[in-house]
A = this chain, B = another copy of it.
Amino acid sequence: MMTEARLDVDLNGVRFPNPVLAASGCFGSGREMAGVIDLAGLGGIVTKSVTWAPTRGLSTPRMAETPSGMLNAIGLQNPGVEEFRAKDGPFIESLGVPVVVSVAGTSVEEYSQVTLRVRDLPGVVAIEANISCPNVERRNQVFACHADQAAEVIGAMTRLTTVPVFAKLTADVTNIVGVAQACVRAGAHGLSLINTLLGMAIDVETFRPRLGAVTGGLSGPAIRPVAVRCVYQVAQALPETPIIGIGGVTRAEDAVELMVAGAWAVQVGTANFFNPGAVAEVAAGIGEFLTRKGLAGPTDLRGKVQLRRNVPEPAHRRG
């Protein structure tokens, strides 16, 4: 008889009942989904990024579908941290699912101020610093584009709170490992990899950009190979640092792929849109996968990529 695998994970002190979280901006704060699905199966929820002031976001159209992916240009619409505290705070406290609050801003000062207003919310197990959203007014507001700027934001946030901070990075850089290392040196507890890739689409009938904001962020299965690569590169360089893998997870196998590359947990974004039950289904699927493989838990996947060739061949080659 096979024993069932345990799914709980411990990211150097940040614990989740299973390794699959809902990604920021793709699940609200969970409140919207509470009536739709059973939230109990979730490993955790990363909230929609919250900024200091209420933010209306960008003009529509805000999304465009692309092959196996989508572009979005929401522009961090959110009611601001005060209303977030008032409306989502009580919900988060009562939820029973670990919540990570995603914090965004356009200056080090803004990240700091928002951090101060969310660090004490009950139910919040960590803060994710969204320093990589491509949908900001100027590219120089994407702090994760430069190691020094990223470190400055993360340093300011980690000085203000004992709540563990995860730095969410972008793949749109020459050297993601350098940015990751700078964030860890600045005090980041862990890393969330990756945010959307900067992309664009044009309607060939009208010659108009398909997004009101012209450019936007590419997400979905299309970007998974880039996410796997980023997780792998960073995990090789920083094996002790918890990494949350993000990008194109729609099925348990996709999550396993990111974990084998080096992720300690994963997040599911776009898949929620077409499958509201995606997070819990991926988590359950990981459980079945582990059990089928006779593995005890997610740590048996983490970073277990086989770089040597002398491991068994896939079945079709054995005949």
Determine the chain B residues whose CB is within 8 A of the CB of A71 once the complex forms.
Answer: 225
With an 8 A cutoff between CB atoms, is A261 at the interface? yes
Identical subunits present: 2
Q: Please determine whether A225 and B199 come into contact, CB atoms closer than 8 angstroms.
A: yes
With an 8 A cutoff between CB atoms, is A305 at the interface? yes
By CB atoms of chain B within 10 A, which of A225, A229, A306 has the most?
A: A225
With an 8 A cutoff between CB atoms, is A157 at the interface? no
Q: Please determine whether A209 and B172 come into contact, CB atoms closer than 8 angstroms.
A: no
Q: A23-31, A83-91, A116-124, A215-223: which one contacts chain B?
A: A215-223
Q: Please determine whether B200 and A229 come into contact, CB atoms closer than 8 angstroms.
A: yes
Q: Which of B174, B218, B229 contacts A173 (CB 8 A)?
A: B174
Determine the chain B residues whose CB is within 8 A of the CB of A257 once the complex forms.
Answer: 201-202, 204
By CB atoms of chain B within 10 A, which of A67, A248, A253, A261 has the most?
A: A67
Determine the chain B residues whose CB is within 8 A of the CB of A214 once the complex forms.
Answer: 232, 307
Q: Please determine whether B222 and A67 come into contact, CB atoms closer than 8 angstroms.
A: yes
Per the bound structure, the CA–CA distance linking A198 and B312 in Å amounts to 26
Q: Which of B68, B146, B207 contacts A260 (CB 8 A)?
A: B207
Q: From known contacts A68-B68, A69-B68, A248-B67, infer whether A226 and B204 are also in contact, taking CB-CB under 8 Å.
A: no
Per the bound structure, the CA–CA distance linking A67 and B173 in Å amounts to 23
Determine the chain B residues whose CB is within 8 A of the CB of A197 once the complex forms.
Answer: 225-226
Q: Please determine whether B174 and A224 come into contact, CB atoms closer than 8 angstroms.
A: no
Determine the chain B residues whose CB is within 8 A of the CB of A67 once the complex forms.
Answer: 67-69, 220-222, 224, 248
With an 8 A cutoff between CB atoms, is A55 at the interface? no
Interface size on A, residues (CB 8 A): 57
Q: From known contacts A257-B201, A260-B207, A306-B208, infer whether A225 and B218 are also in contact, taking CB-CB under 8 Å.
A: yes
Per the bound structure, the CA–CA distance linking A214 and B232 in Å amounts to 10
Determine the chain B residues whose CB is within 8 A of the CB of A306 once the complex forms.
Answer: 206-209
Mask of A68-84 contacts with B, CB within 8 angstroms, 1/0: 11010000000000000
With an 8 A cutoff between CB atoms, is A228 at the interface? yes
29 inter-chain pairs at a CB distance below 8 angstroms, sorted by A residue, are A66-B225, A67-B67, A67-B68, A67-B222, A67-B248, A68-B69, A69-B222, A69-B225, A71-B225, A145-B174, A145-B175, A173-B173, A174-B174, A198-B226, A199-B226, A202-B228, A202-B305, A204-B253, A204-B257, A204-B289, A205-B315, A206-B306, A206-B311, A206-B313, A207-B306, A208-B309, A215-B229, A218-B225, A221-B222
Contacts A68-B68, A202-B228, A204-B256 aside, 8 further interface pairs with beta carbons under 8 A come to: A68-B222, A145-B175, A199-B225, A200-B232, A204-B257, A204-B289, A207-B304, A215-B232
